[in-house]
């Protein structure tokens, strides 16, 4: 069976085609290119009918389009049965993207505590124990958001693209911005990891998201880098629902 997993994020729509639970193709497109992208996917995979999707902000028009094109569409939300115990104080406010990551951790790393760090538009930190209980975590601005904030909320600081910073102290405005954005993000991630390591002897560290590989090169702690873990979680949740 062909399955299309769709992760509708804040910036990109990412997708994965699997066959018999094995990934065969990944891709992404901008939300404005939705119709063209699905035309191309259907042309390449005419037998495709099964869809699983999570979204942090797609339009109702897109959902109508999706259901018109495919016969078996699963839209994941906070009420969808999941293989973890949600101990979040406000479960109705928990983002579906964070829930998908939790499902991925429980299904792909069973009976293991996990700290999942998703480095996308925002950086989210999510903690589950070895019993599959989800406790929550933290949310902070992502790298691009930090660069944009410095540019938008000041009069003269330029908008820069992410770059591995030189050693402190930065001897130019650009160097100082890169240090302030990238190095502080690295320190933040390492701080959360070290805080959990001080409390828990054994757990896995998973780094995912669009900036995962860039940041992983600068981290000192051993960590699983899985840039497409959101898509893996979507597929794992679908298999849980249909097993």
Q: Which residues are catalytic?
A: 97
For residue 21, how many other CB atoms are within 10 A of its CB?
Answer: 11
Asked whether the CA dihedral 151, 185, 89, 236 is positive or negative, the reply is positive
Give the C-alpha distances (Å, rounded to integers) separating 78 from 93, 97, 120: 9, 10, 21
Query: Could you give the angle at which helices 184-199 and 143-152 cross, rounded to 10 degrees?
Result: 140
């Amino acid at each position: 069976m062909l399955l299309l997993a769709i992760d509708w994020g804040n910036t990109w729509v990412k997708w994965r085609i699997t066959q018999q639970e094995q990934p065969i193709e990944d891709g992404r497109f901008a939300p404005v290119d939705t119709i063209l992208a699905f035309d191309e996917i259907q042309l390449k995979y005419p037998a495709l009918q099964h869809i699983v999707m999570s979204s942090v902000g797609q339009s109702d028009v897109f959902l109508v389009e999706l259901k018109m094109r495919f016969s078996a569409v699963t839209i994941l939300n906070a009420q969808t049965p999941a293989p973890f115990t949600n101990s979040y104080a406000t479960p109705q406010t928990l983002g579906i993207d964070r829930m998908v990551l939790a499902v991925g951790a429980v299904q792909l790393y069973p009976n293991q505590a996990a700290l999942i760090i998703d480095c996308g538009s925002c950086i989210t930190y999510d903690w589950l124990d070895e019993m599959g209980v989800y406790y929550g975590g933290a949310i902070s601005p992502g790298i691009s958001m930090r660069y944009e904030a410095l540019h938008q909320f000041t009069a003269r600081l330029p908008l820069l693209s992410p770059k591995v910073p030189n050693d402190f102290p930065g001897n130019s405005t650009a160097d100082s911005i890169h240090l302030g954005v990238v190095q502080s993000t690295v320190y933040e991630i390492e701080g959360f990891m070290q805080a959990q390591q001080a409390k828990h002897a054994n757990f896995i560290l998973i780094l995912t998201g669009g900036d995962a590989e860039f940041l992983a090169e600068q981290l000192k702690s051993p960590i699983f880098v899985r840039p497409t873990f959101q898509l893996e979680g979507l597929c794992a949740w679908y298999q849980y629902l249909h097993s």
